[in-house]
Structure 1
Amino acid sequence: MTIPAIVLAGSRPGPDPLLTGSGASTKALLPVAGKPMLAHVVTALRASPHVGRITILAQNSAELAAEPMLAGIDGLQFEDSGQGISSSLAAALPDSDAPMLVTTADNVLLTPSMIAEFVAGAEDSDVAVAMVEKAVLLARYPESRRTWLKFRGGWWSGANLFRLSGRRVLPLLDFWGRIERDRKKGLKIIAAFGPWLLLGTLLRLFTIRQGIARAGLRFGLKAKVVAMSEPEACIDADKPADIELIERIFAARRQGAIGAPL
């Protein structure tokens, strides 16, 4: 069986410093390693035997659909989104509890092997989140700077891969819509789930798996963390330094050195 995928390719409010002087009108079309960010992500999804239909969500989806490097890709569709991530996802969910894979247009280092690892680890969950432990990333890329969530047994960074079980997750998406502006502020996000989870995190009483499971229970959901083994899984394109690192990784992949797509 395959799972449909959604790629969040919209623009956030305000200017994006990555676009300054680039000639690109939106981040999803910013060239990285010779082609738009979104094209890298779609190529990886389409190459995965686990992924079925792919939906691109953006405020101006027609602009993305006109990108020549996306032309002719089977099972690809474009839909206009709202202004917020949570509301856009809620509108795109199926009328059932069928699972969906969600990623972002700046997840340019995504590979079929990452998708396979995540899909296997996320099985039987209502909500699953891909994450990379700090030691895994820094062992290969000590120069990389991420936002870390600190739990007992490790520090973790998100990897922009999610599994959502259809309409079951609507209450969670509604909640996320109220706090997504703080998405880079780990403790504020944790505090929003209640004082017990915040206290447990501050005192390192929980592992990240226990913390995510507790957070899911608030909404009656089985929530899981999928620990990704490839450090590149959490390197997305947020800052100029990220782009420089990503370009080096793609160059190494072309030479067959690291993280080549499988």
Structure 2
Amino acid sequence: MKAGGLTALVLAGSRGPDDPMAQAFGVPHKALIAVAGTPMLLRVIAALGATPEIARIVVVIEAPALVQALPGLAEAANGKPVDLFPAAGSPSRSVVAALARYPVPLLVTTADHALLQPGWVRHFLASVPAGADAALALARSEVVLAEMPDTRRTWLRFAEGSYSGCNLFFFATPKAQALAELWQQVEALRKQPVAMLRLLGLGYALRYRFGWLKLSAALARLGQLAGGCRAAVVEMPFARAAVDVDKPADKELVERLLAEDRPAH
């Protein structure tokens, strides 16, 4: 992908004033939790600002004033424009709304991806298969656990192995809109397991439950449900790409990793 032509969407929606992480660290919004002294959101913006392929950064948040008041915002964005877009109540709804406003291709990440590095973003973008309408980044459990053997991740278990999500998504063509809308459907049914099984297909759900479902078959099924959208996976060789800050233990892990990276004095 050519340098400077892509919009990056940062999902920073909140669970509201009762967000347990925001309360735990005494900030008005989870995205503002300081990791090694810097708000997570600012760390993500800085990584995107340093990525040549990114031309514009869009922060999806229900409280734009919090972003506007961030010290060092312009410096982190590296001169790139930072738009503020209203959060729509859930990640999938926010992405669907953003796709109606911003043209593809569109990169999506999250405000709690506090370790995000420009090199990861560039690797992901360069590795999206030709012809894919959408792609997501996954890291194999072997890669993640080799560097962080004690980490607790949510694993997606397929016949080929177990994977962790890396909070990087790419919507390459207009067909990806249907995949975002499918995501919205699944998200809306998360408390209705029978309806979700009916939507995804009982056979696929059972094969996944017992570890028999191949990742390629799962992608093909998602594409079928999304009207022929071609979905792909990019396997990330970076263990830390699988780490986001969802709980206090994650923050401790991220700060420990950052401390290990600091040169000794």
- TM class by shorter-chain length? 0.7 to 0.9
* Separation (CA, whole Å) in 1 of partners of 2:26 and 2:73: 19
* Separation (CA, whole Å) in 1 of partners of 2:225 and 2:234: 20
Tell me what 1:8 maps to: 11
Identity, in percent, stands at: 37
TM-score, normalised on structure 1? 0.87
Paired residue secondary structure (2:250): helix
The 8 Å contact of residues 43 and 114 in structure 2, kept in 1 or not, is answered as yes
Paired residue secondary structure (1:38): helix
* Separation (CA, whole Å) in 2 of partners of 1:114 and 1:190: 34
Q: What are the Cα deviations for residues 68-105 of structure 1, in whole angstroms up to 9, with x where unaligned?
A: 12135322221222212222212211568631100000
Select 1:59's aligned residue among 62, 70, 84: 62
Unaligned runs of 5+ in 2: none
Q: CA deviation at 1:12?
A: 2.1
Select 2:170's aligned residue among 159, 163, 166: 163
Q: CA deviation at 1:181?
A: 6.0
Unaligned runs of 5+ in 1: 257-262
Q: CA deviation at 1:207?
A: 2.7
Out of 119-128 and 227-236, give the one that drifted further. Answer: 119-128
Tell me what 1:259 maps to: none
Residues 1:216 and 2:223 are matched in the alignment: yes
| Equivalences, count | 256
Matches within 5 A, 1:100-179: 100-124=106-130, 125-165=132-172, 167-179=174-186
Q: What are the Cα deviations for residues 187-228 of structure 1, in whole angstroms up to 9, with x where unaligned?
A: x97874222322332344433233223312321111011111
Q: Supply the AA of the counterpart residue of 1:77.
A: D
Q: What are the Cα deviations for residues 92-143 of structure 1, in whole angstroms up to 9, with x where unaligned?
A: 1156863110000001111011111110122431111111111111111111
The 8 Å contact of residues 129 and 232 in structure 2, kept in 1 or not, is answered as no
The verdict on how the C-alpha distance between 1:134 and 1:111 changes in structure 2, with shifts beyond 3 A counting, is same
* Separation (CA, whole Å) in 2 of partners of 1:191 and 1:149: 20
Q: CA deviation at 1:46?
A: 0.9
Q: What are the Cα deviations for residues 148-173 of structure 1, in whole angstroms up to 9, with x where unaligned?
A: 11101211111100001354233322
Paired residue secondary structure (2:88): coil
* Separation (CA, whole Å) in 2 of partners of 1:183 and 1:115: 29
